[in-house]
């Protein structure tokens, strides 16, 4: 942790910065997985809306 003090003697602590890294693009297999999960999520939302409409 880095500690500095100004001319008035006030101490200020700074946290250690994390190491930086670049994100990698998802592979084609990951992209297909995302599409599949999106389709499942859409089906759950549509089923919930239809259930709410028919119940009310």
Is the pLDDT score of 17 beyond 70?
Answer: yes
Q: In the prediction, which pLDDT does 1 show?
A: 62
Mean pLDDT in residue range 13-41 = 91
pLDDT of residue 13: 78
Cα–Cα distances in angstroms (integers) from residue 21 to residues 10, 24, 29, 44, in the given order: 34, 9, 22, 36
CA separation, residue 1 to residues 8, 10, 36 (Å): 21, 16, 45
User: Taking 70 as the threshold, does the pLDDT of residue 36 lie above it?
Assistant: yes
Determine the average pLDDT of the residues in 22-47: 96
Has residue 38 got a pLDDT over 90?
A: yes
Average pLDDT, the chain: 89
In the chain, where the domains are located: 25-56
């Amino acid at each position: 942790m880095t500690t500095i003090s100004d001319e008035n003697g006030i101490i200020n602590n700074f946290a250690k910065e994390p190491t930086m890294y670049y994100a990698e693009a998802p592979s084609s297999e990951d992209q297909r997985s995302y599409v599949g999960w999106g389709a499942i999520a859409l089906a759950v939302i549509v089923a919930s809306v239809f259930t709410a409409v028919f119940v009310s």
